[in-house]
Amino acid sequence: MSWPQWKVCLEYDGRHHRTRTQQEKDILRGERRRLAGWTELVVSVGDMDRGAARAIERVRSELRRRGRTG
C-alpha cells in the first residue's frame, strides 16, 4: 500500500519475510525507498489486531507528519 503524494508506504511483514533471502530483499528495498525520500512503515500481525487499529493509527500519524490534512 502506498500514498505517493506523501511518499508513505506500508509493508506487511508476514510469515514469508522470515527467510534470510526475503529479509535481505526487504532491507535493500527499504533502503531504496528511504534514499528516495519515502517513509516505509512495516506492520506485523500484532498491528492488525482489533480491526487493524494500531496499523491504521501508525499510517494516519505518518501521513499527518508528512503534511496530509483531513
60 and 43 Cβ atoms separated by less than 8 Å = no
Which pLDDT tens digit goes with each residue over 14-47? Answer: 777 678 888 899 899 999 999 999 999 999 888 8
Q: Where are the domains of the chain?
A: 2-65
H-state helical runs in 10-67: 20-35, 49-65
pLDDT number for residue 10: 94
Q: Is the pLDDT of residue 67 over 90?
A: yes
Segment 45-62 shows an average pLDDT of 89
Cell of 28: 535493500
Separation of alpha carbons 47 and 38, rounded Å: 21
Least Cα distance to 10 among 67, 54, 69 occurs for: 54
Q: What confidence category does residue 12 fall into, taking pLDDT thresholds of 50, 70 and 90? A: confident
